[in-house]
């Protein structure tokens, strides 16, 4: 089943292989990937493999949507594996409300279509913008841990956030 979500300005849809160049624009961007769980993609082939894995992922395990704004793919948002929630956006599109609009739509979709008590997020504590967006979406900080992930040879900390389903 191919789900597509629409907001006032966005189309949130499943990835296709013809998205590879636009996905590489953010997955290969050092600013977009600064606090991601892997270094920026080094070439188009790495993005092709990442995109194919996303396309082939079992929808029972979660769902990710590409964010299309004004006809361009500018990021991704979703929950894979469930209940892990995350997003990435090309820096050219930061500070426009796109992350909030996309995140809100996907959260509503997840709680409407999945039996979930909550969503969780793991964020590098240096990523103030993503933390602010999570909090605007209703997530609350639940914890902190040191040296949880090695990215490009550097150990980074994690802050944990949770959004409970509204009753």
Q: What is the 3-state secondary structure (H, E, C) of 118-131?
A: EEEEEECCCCHHHH
Instruction: Using the structure block, give the residue that is written with the tokens 């636009």.
Output: 22
Average per-residue pLDDT for the chain: 96
φ and ψ of 60, to 5 deg: -70, -25
What number of helices (H) and strands (E) belong to the chain?
A: 4, 8
Does the pLDDT at position 109 exceed 70? Answer: yes
pLDDT at 46 over 90: yes
Contacts of 74 (CB under 8 A, 6+ apart): 22, 26, 67, 68, 89, 90, 92, 93, 98
Query: What does pTM read for this prediction?
Result: 0.95
Q: How confident is the model at residue 167 (pLDDT cuts 50, 70, 90)?
A: confident
Summarize the confidence of residues 77-94 as an average pLDDT.
97
The confidence score (pLDDT) of residue 55 equals 94
> For position 54, what pLDDT does the model report?
94
Q: What residues contact residue 59 under an 8 Å CB cut-off, 6+ apart?
A: 1
Contact in structure between 111 and 101 (CB atoms under 8 Å):
no
Convert the pLDDT of each residue in 61-81 to its tens digit: 999 999 999 999 999 999 999
Look at residue 91 in the predicted model and tell me its pLDDT.
98
The confidence score (pLDDT) of residue 113 equals: 95
pLDDT range class, residue 166, cuts 50, 70, 90: confident
Strand (E) positions, the chain? 5-6, 10-13, 63-69, 72-79, 85-89, 118-123, 140-151, 154-164
Q: 26 pLDDT band (50/70/90 cuts)?
A: very high
**Per-residue pLDDT at 1 exceeds 70:** no
């Amino acid at each position: 089943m191919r789900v597509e979500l629409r907001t006032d300005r966005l189309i949130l849809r499943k990835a296709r292989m013809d998205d590879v160049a636009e996905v590489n624009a953010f997955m290969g961007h050092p600013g977009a990937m600064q606090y991601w769980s892997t270094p920026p993609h080094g070439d188009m082939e790495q993005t092709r493999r990442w995109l194919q894995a996303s396309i082939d992922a079992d929808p029972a395990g979660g769902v990710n949507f590409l964010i299309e704004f004004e006809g361009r793919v500018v990021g991704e948002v979703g929950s894979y594996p469930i209940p892990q929630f995350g997003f990435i956006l090309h820096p050219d599109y930061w500070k426009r409300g796109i992350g909030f609009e996309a995140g809100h739509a996907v959260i509503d979709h997840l709680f409407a279509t999945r039996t979930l008590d909550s969503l969780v997020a793991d964020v590098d504590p240096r990523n103030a913008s993503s933390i602010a967006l999570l909090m605007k979406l209703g997530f609350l900080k639940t914890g902190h841990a040191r040296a949880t992930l090695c990215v490009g040879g550097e150990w980074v900390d994690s802050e944990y956030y949770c959004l409970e389903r509204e009753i």
